[in-house]
């Protein structure tokens, strides 16, 4: 569910989240449905057929019979042709297959309610009347520039190429009766990761019981799988943040909002040519001026506006900034700046300040972040991209090893945890050997205590 129009969700929380989630600082405004859609006829008058006297014409003359259309005059100008309303094509079902009748023509997409809106378009919860399912319809405003229209088309094509379980699929594309481009995508009935973090911050006991550190890591691994898939196809997201990840009621994880994504190798001719920066725009909202993305979660190179040279390591930084927040329940630079502060303040913090290590952040509703995860985050949040993980696949490998007990050794505590976990695996595989080792260790420990006491006496 972010991006091309910096869409924001008007509803946050379980069951109200949609295909386009909301940035923290932006609230969706209610928008009335457009009514009275109707087909418009073309402005040209009916063609007039001139039939000469066929008795005097040979067969070749008959074949040359022409059709001449009456051209509109200045007093009666031609009316603008509008696209027809998309209508259903399947027979209408009434109760059962046996009761199916003839096709009743009606609009294919029935708009239910606004889910989010941005500067260039909006997203509407819509019912697909042919397939009989809820979908999310994202559309541009009719008066958008050619540049934004090109970006919109690129977003559709990028999502279309990224067929992955954790990336929302595109179902349809078209132009509505008002001349607005739209595409239809899967509607994710759930809540944003931002909403999950908010509930954990509030100390919701049900959420803390479900979202353990291990489960949060598993969710993050699904996000990494989606981004790794995109990177393998040369696409970087550029707007990774908690508001752009949806969590379904059955554990579904979907990365949304690919509106500012682009091919890494491309020069990106549709990139904004302006160097103007709107300082009044909130730092938690997707930007499309000289800065592309959401400032609060940008990598340092992205915050410097180096759009042409960004690579997968920029997404690595944004992923770790989001994971830091999911684990510690606070913004990763919270001790230096508020994410809703001015653009200048947020960008300067991203460029200059290091976050507090995650295991040093305390929260009254949860324990300390595991030390191996704290080291993992510090590596991904390095200011120099050369010091970060080289790619998302490296991140996946380390986190999976941690979950399997093969903890990456960074310090004494992680070495001890690695030893304990390895011993646990040894017990699982060779129980007798494990018991012998445990007894031997206990005996040597007891002897050490006895010798120590005798030396003290």
Q: What are the φ and ψ backbone dihedral angles of 96, each rounded to 5 degrees?
A: -150, 170
Q: What are the φ and ψ backbone dihedral angles of 433, each rounded to 5 degrees?
A: -65, -40
Q: How many helices (H) and strands (E) does the chain have?
A: 12, 15
Q: What is the CA radius of gyration of the chain?
A: 30
Angle at the Cα of 366 (from 365 to 370), degrees rounded to 5?
160
> Which tokens go with 349?
């913090």
Query: Which residues contact residue 223 at a Cβ distance below 8 angstroms, ignoring those fewer than 6 apart?
Result: 166, 245, 253, 255, 319, 322
Helix (H) or strand (E) holding 32: none
239 is catalytic: yes
Residue with tokens 């991006």: 3
d(CA 440, CA 448): 12
The alpha carbon of 320 is separated from its chain's Cα centroid by a whole number of angstroms, namely 15
d(CA 243, CA 255): 10
> Which tokens go with 7?
């869409």
SS3 29: coil
d(CA 17, CA 31): 17
296, 283 Cβ separation under 8 angstroms: yes
> Which tokens go with 286?
């997707």
Which DSSP state fits 366? Answer: B
> Which tokens go with 326?
């999911």
Angle at the Cα of 327 (from 326 to 331), degrees rounded to 5?
60
Residues 239, 257, 315, 359: which is the catalytic one?
Answer: 239
Length of the chain counted residue by residue: 457
Q: How would you write 290-355 as a 3-class SS string?
A: CCEECHHHCCHHHHCCCHHHCCHHHHHHHHHHHHHHHHHCCCCCCCCCCCCCCHHHHHHHHHHCCC
Closest by CA to 241, choosing from 286, 202, 281, is 286
Give the end-to-end CA distance of the chain in Å, rounded to a whole number: 70
140, 122 Cβ separation under 8 angstroms: no
Give catalytic residue positions. Answer: 239
């Amino acid at each position: 569910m972010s991006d091309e129009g910096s869409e924001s969700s008007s509803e946050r929380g379980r069951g109200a989240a949609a295909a386009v989630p909301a940035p923290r600082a932006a609230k969706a405004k209610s928008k009335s449905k457009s009514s009275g859609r109707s087909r418009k006829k073309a402005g040209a008058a009916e063609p007039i057929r001139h039939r000469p006297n066929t008795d005097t014409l040979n067969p070749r003359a008959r074949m040359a019979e022409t059709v001449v259309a009456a051209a509109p005059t200045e007093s009666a100008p031609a009316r603008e042709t509008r696209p027809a309303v998309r209508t259903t094509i399947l027979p209408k079902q009434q109760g059962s297959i046996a009761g199916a009748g003839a096709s009743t023509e009606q609009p294919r997409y029935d708009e239910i309610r606004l889910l989010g809106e941005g500067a260039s378009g909006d997203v509407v919860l819509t019912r697909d009347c042919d397939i009989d399912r809820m979908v999310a319809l994202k559309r541009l405003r009719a008066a958008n520039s050619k540049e934004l229209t090109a970006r919109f088309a690129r977003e559709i094509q990028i999502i279309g190429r990224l067929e992955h379980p954790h990336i929302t699929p595109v179902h349809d594309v078209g132009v509505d009766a008002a001349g607005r481009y739209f595409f239809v995508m899967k509607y994710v009935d759930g809540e944003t990761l931002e909403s999950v973090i908010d509930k954990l911050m509030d100390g919701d006991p049900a959420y803390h019981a479900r979202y353990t550190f291990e489960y949060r890591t598993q969710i993050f691994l699904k996000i990494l799988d989606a981004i790794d898939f995109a990177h393998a196809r040369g696409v970087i997201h550029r707007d990774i943040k908690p508001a752009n990840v949806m969590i379904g009621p059955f554990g579904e994880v979907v990365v949304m909002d690919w509106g500012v994504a682009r091919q890494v190798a491309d020069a990106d001719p549709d990139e904004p040519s302006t160097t103007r920066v709107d300082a009044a725009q909130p730092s938690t909202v997707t930007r499309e001026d000289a800065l592309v993305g959401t400032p609060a979660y940008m990598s340092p190179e992205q915050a410097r506006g180096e759009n042409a040279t960004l690579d997968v390591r920029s997404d690595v930084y944004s992923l770790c900034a989001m994971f830091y927040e999911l684990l510690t329940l606070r913004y990763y630079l919270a001790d230096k700046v508020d994410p809703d502060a001015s653009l200048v303040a947020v960008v300067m913090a991203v460029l200059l300040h290091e976050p507090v290590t995650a295991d040093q952040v305390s929260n009254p509703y949860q324990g300390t972040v595991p030390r191996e995860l704290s080291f993992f985050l510090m590596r991904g949040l390095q200011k120099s991209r050369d010091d970060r993980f080289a790619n998302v696949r490296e991140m996946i490998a380390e986190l999976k090893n941690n979950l399997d007990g093969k903890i990456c050794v960074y310090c004494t505590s992680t070495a001890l945890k690695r030893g304990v976990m390895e011993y646990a695996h040894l017990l699982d595989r060779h129980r007798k050997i494990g018991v012998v080792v445990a007894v031997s260790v206990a005996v040597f420990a007891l002897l050490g205590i006895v010798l120590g006491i005798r030396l003290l006496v």
